[in-house]
């Protein structure tokens, strides 16, 4: 089955979904505008963070920040 050309519509509520290291615990602020929805997420490292629907759905946030700098270290080691 080919899916090319089909757009995937965002889910209304992301609670229970996982994005990278982030597990969405609950919606903190609902809004008619998807971009303004805010979620409480728990990172696999144990930190809790508040992240927008937009950043989760578009892959802009995949951790609490615990991975920041990790890629830099790997690139410098090469």
Can you list the positions of beta strands (E) in 6-71? 18-19, 22-29, 38-43, 48-52
Domain membership flag for residue 40? yes
Domain membership flag for residue 26? yes
Domain membership flag for residue 5? no
Domain membership flag for residue 59? yes
Q: Write out the residue range of the structural domain in which residue 36 sits.
A: 18-77
Domain membership flag for residue 28? yes
**Total structural domains in the chain?**
1
What sections of the chain are H helices per DSSP?
53-57, 70-77
φ and ψ at residue 47, rounded to 5 degrees: -75, 145
The pair of structure tokens assigned to 14 is: 């992301």
CA-CA distance, 57 to 27, in Å (whole number)?
14
Taking residue 33's Cβ as centre, other Cβ atoms within 10 Å add up to 8
**Per-position pLDDT tens, the chain of length 78:** 455 555 555 567 899 999 999 999 999 988 777 667 899 999 999 999 999 998 999 999 999 999 876 654 444 444
Domain membership flag for residue 4? no
Please give the model's pTM, rounded to 2 decimal places.
0.69
Domain membership flag for residue 13? no
């Amino acid at each position: 089955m080919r899916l090319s050309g089909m757009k995937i519509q965002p889910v209304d509520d992301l609670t229970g979904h996982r994005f990278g290291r982030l597990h969405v615990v609950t919606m903190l602020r609902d809004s008619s505008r998807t971009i303004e929805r805010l979620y409480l997420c728990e990172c696999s490292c144990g930190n809790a963070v508040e992240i927008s629907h937009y950043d989760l759905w578009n892959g802009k946030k995949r951790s609490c920040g615990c991975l920041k700098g990790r890629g830099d270290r790997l690139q410098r080691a090469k």
